[in-house]
């Protein structure tokens, strides 16, 4: 595309963030939020709102999708969280059909009120055994597991210490549980220790929950879990590790960073989600005792006051765990890592910078939010479906394009994705530079 042939893009569509609208003011609860829709719709009208898209088919490696205005496009799919492609695995679909005939569609109650099924009881045992834990408890979503674990255990006089990049579900749970919430620098044992010393010197009586992730989904990096657990033991704190993005998909036997670091069965609390690797919605918390499990069942609000996993979800996740722990699971993880390493290599060869270590999450550095939006606008036409991540999901001016790899991604899929990204990136940069020069002309000419 030649300079000067671009469509007009209002500066307001390239500026601002959702954070600007998080705390609206005014007496009218509904009217005061109109500013967000106005900003969102301005981006939508100029093709700069790449969120709320829908698929027309199962999340395969190449799919048809629609934007939230109904516009249809097709491309190689690096935007779905289905690392081992179990979401459309024939064995899981067969189990789902069989369970519908026997149990129907709905759990019809919370786990405390007859919502559990034979499948969910067995699944809890399977998860506990897989993680070397005494017990495990299910939640309707991964978000509910994270929020519920924190809110269920922490009281207003307690303290929560989180890695600054932990998932919003953990932060929201902490904010709902206590005002004593602190953030330590990402993966910094030194900063975590400093906070623990400060908290314990002032309060030796109340509880401290420390939360981190085994694989951070925006940076694809991992903390030293052994050192984190030792630190918590030293200060009489409890460690919670979110394993949503690596359990099942990475590491020896599918145990992710816990397995790679020899920490299976050695962490206080492990919570995770089924939506990334296990082909269904839902989540869990694995713990050291029956006492903790039973307390969470009745005091974690997202468990006690939510319908339990459907029998279909529980049964398909059970089958997914069987695959994950089998030779087929080993083969799928090998395929996944092959695709990951090929994508990272080809992106680097093409001049892109990628974050972190090899995992199913491959984030490409962009930087400025406005530039990232212009690049993302061109991805569908170039034939790539990937996710834009911008502030406040990541720090200001650290926008990135997140590609999530699946085991079934072929070398052709990877080549097509890199080629499409190169095309979109070049055109986006060209337009960004052109818009900058046009604004400078207007400034100089008054």
Same-domain pairing of 99 and 247 = yes
The predicted structure's pLDDT at residue 104? 87
The predicted structure's pLDDT at residue 111? 87
The predicted structure's pLDDT at residue 5? 52
Query: Given a cut of 50, is residue 443 above it in pLDDT?
Result: no
Q: Confirm whether 400 is domain-assigned.
A: yes
Tokens of 309: 């996993």
CATH label of the domain that carries residue 111: 3.40.640.10
Express each pLDDT in 43-90 by its tens digit: 999 999 999 999 988 889 999 999 998 999 999 999 999 999 999 999
Same-domain pairing of 116 and 148 = yes
0.85 exceeded by pTM: yes
Query: Given a cut of 50, is residue 3 above it in pLDDT?
Result: no
Confidence of residue 436 (pLDDT cuts 50, 70, 90): confident
Q: Which of 406, 246, 249, 255 is nearest to 339 (CA)?
A: 406
Q: In what order do the strands lie in the sheet with 283-287?
A: 135-139, 283-287, 269-273, 238-242, 208-213, 159-163, 181-184
Same-domain pairing of 252 and 293 = yes
Express each pLDDT in 221-231 by its tens digit: 999 999 999 99
Q: Confirm whether 43 is domain-assigned.
A: yes
Q: Name the domain boundary from 275, 302, 324.
A: 324
Confidence of residue 8 (pLDDT cuts 50, 70, 90): confident
Same-domain pairing of 23 and 146 = no
Same-domain pairing of 96 and 71 = no
Same-domain pairing of 340 and 305 = no
Tokens of 428: 């986006």
Q: Confirm whether 4 is domain-assigned.
A: no
Domain count of the fold of the chain:
2
The predicted structure's pLDDT at residue 439? 61
Express each pLDDT in 235-271 by its tens digit: 999 999 999 999 999 999 999 999 999 999 999 999 9
Q: Confirm whether 437 is domain-assigned.
A: yes
Q: Confirm whether 2 is domain-assigned.
A: no
Average pLDDT, the chain: 94
The predicted structure's pLDDT at residue 57? 87
Least confident segment among 102-111, 174-183, 372-381, 382-391: 102-111
Q: Confirm whether 49 is domain-assigned.
A: yes
Q: Confirm whether 222 is domain-assigned.
A: yes
The predicted structure's pLDDT at residue 446? 43
Q: What is the spatial distance between Cα 296 and Cα 40, in angstroms, rounded to a whole number? A: 38
Tokens of 219: 């940076």
Express each pLDDT in 298-347 by its tens digit: 999 999 999 989 999 999 999 999 999 999 999 999 999 999 999 999 99
Which comes out higher in pLDDT, residue 104 or 345?
345
Express each pLDDT in 203-217 by its tens digit: 999 999 999 999 999
Mean pLDDT of 363-371: 97
Same-domain pairing of 273 and 289 = yes
Q: Confirm whether 140 is domain-assigned.
A: yes
Close Cβ partners of 206 (under 8 Å, ≥ 6 residues apart): 155, 157, 158, 159
Residue pair 256/333 in contact (Cβ under 8 Å)? The answer is no
Domain span at 283: 90-324
CATH label of the domain that carries residue 417: 3.90.1150.10
The predicted structure's pLDDT at residue 115? 85
Q: Over the chain, what HEC string results? A: CCCCCCCCCCHHHHCCCHHHHCCCCCCCCCHHHHHHHHHHHHHHHCCCCCCCCEECCCCCCEEEEECCCCCEEEEEECCCCCCCCHHHCHHHHHHHHHHHHHHCCCCCCCCCCCCCCHHHHHHHHHHHHHCCCCEEEEECCHHHHHHHHHHHHCCCCCEEEEECCCCHHHHHHHHHHCCCEEEECCCCHHHHHHHHHHHHHHCCCCCEEEEEECCCCCCCCCCCHHHHHHHHHHCCCEEEEECCCCCCCCCHHHCHHHHHCCCCCCCCEEEEECCCCCCCCCEEEEECCHHHHHHHHHHCHHHHCCCCCCHHHHHHHHHHHHHHCCHHHHHHHHHHHHHHHHHHHHHHHCCCCECCCCCCEEEEEEECHHHHHHHHHHHHHHCEECEEECCCCCCCCCEEEEEECCCCCCHHHHHHHHHHHHHHHHHHHHHHHHHHHHHHHHHHHC
Same-domain pairing of 172 and 299 = yes
Q: What are phi and psi of 23, to 5 degrees?
A: -120, 70
The predicted structure's pLDDT at residue 2? 37
Instruction: Kindly provide the b/e burial profile for residues 136-159, where b requires at least 16 CB atoms within 10 angstroms of the residue's own CB.
Output: bbbbbbbbbbbbbbbbbbbeeebb
Same-domain pairing of 350 and 362 = yes
Same-domain pairing of 297 and 343 = no
Confidence of residue 444 (pLDDT cuts 50, 70, 90): very low
Q: Name the domain boundary from 279, 307, 324.
A: 324
Q: Name the domain boundary from 324, 357, 387.
A: 324
Same-domain pairing of 243 and 389 = no
Q: What is the spatial distance between Cα 130 and Cα 256, in angstroms, rounded to a whole number? A: 12
Same-domain pairing of 162 and 30 = no
Query: Given a cut of 70, is residue 9 above it in pLDDT?
Result: yes
Q: Over the Cα atoms of the chain, what is R_g? A: 23
Confidence of residue 114 (pLDDT cuts 50, 70, 90): confident
Mean pLDDT of 133-146: 97
């Amino acid at each position: 595309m030649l300079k000067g042939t671009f469509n007009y893009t209002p500066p307001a569509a390239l500026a601002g963030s959702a954070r600007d609208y998080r705390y609206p003011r005014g007496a009218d609860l509904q009217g005061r939020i109109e500013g967000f829709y106005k900003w969102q719709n301005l981006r939508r009208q100029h093709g700069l709102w790449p969120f709320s898209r829908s698929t027309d088919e199962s999340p395969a490696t190449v799919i048809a999708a629609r934007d939230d205005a109904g516009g249809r496009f097709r491309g190689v799919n690096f935007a779905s969280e289905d690392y081992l492609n179990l979401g459309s695995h024939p064995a899981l679909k067969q189990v789902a059909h069989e369970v519908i005939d026997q149990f129907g569609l709905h759990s019809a109650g919370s786990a405390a009120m007859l919502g559990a099924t034979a499948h969910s009881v067995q699944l809890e045992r399977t998860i506990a055994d897989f993680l070397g834990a005494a017990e495990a408890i299910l939640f309707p979503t991964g978000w509910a597991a994270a929020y519920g674990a924190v809110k269920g255990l922490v009281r207003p006089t307690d303290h929560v210490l989180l890695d600054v990049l932990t998932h919003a579900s953990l932060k929201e749970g902490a904010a709902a549980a206590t005002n004593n919430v602190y953030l330590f620098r990402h993966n910094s044992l030194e900063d975590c220790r400093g906070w623990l010393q400060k908290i314990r010197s002032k309060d030796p009586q109340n509880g401290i929950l420390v939360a981190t992730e085994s694989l951070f989904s925006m940076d694809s990096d991992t903390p030293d879990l052994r050192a984190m657990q030792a630190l918590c033991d030293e200060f009489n704190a409890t460690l919670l590790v979110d394993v949503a993005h690596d359990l099942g998909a990475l590491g020896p036997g599918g145990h992710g960073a816990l397995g790679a670091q020899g920490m299976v069965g050695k962490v206080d609390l492990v919570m995770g989600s089924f939506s990334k690797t296990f082909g269904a919605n839902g989540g869990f918390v694995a713990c050291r005792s029956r006492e903790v499990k039973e307390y969470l069942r009745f005091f974690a609000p997202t468990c006690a006051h939510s319908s339990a996993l459907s029998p279909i979800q529980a049964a398909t996740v059970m089958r997914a765990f069987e695959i994950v722990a089998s030779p087929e699971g080993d083969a799928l993880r090998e395929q996944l890592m092959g695709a990951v390493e090929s994508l990272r290599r080809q992106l680097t060869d093409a001049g892109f910078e990628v974050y972190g270590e090899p995992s199913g999450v491959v984030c490409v550095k962009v930087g400025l939010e406005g530039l990232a939006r212009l690049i993302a606008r061109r991805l569908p036409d170039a034939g790539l479906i990937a996710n834009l991540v911008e502030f406040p999901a990541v720090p200001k001016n650290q926008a990135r394009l997140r590609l999530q790899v699946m085991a079934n991604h072929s070398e052709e899929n990877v080549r097509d994705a890199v080629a499409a990204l190169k095309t979109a990136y070049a055109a986006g940069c060209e337009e960004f530079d052109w818009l900058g020069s046009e604004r400078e002309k207007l400034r100089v000419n008054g």
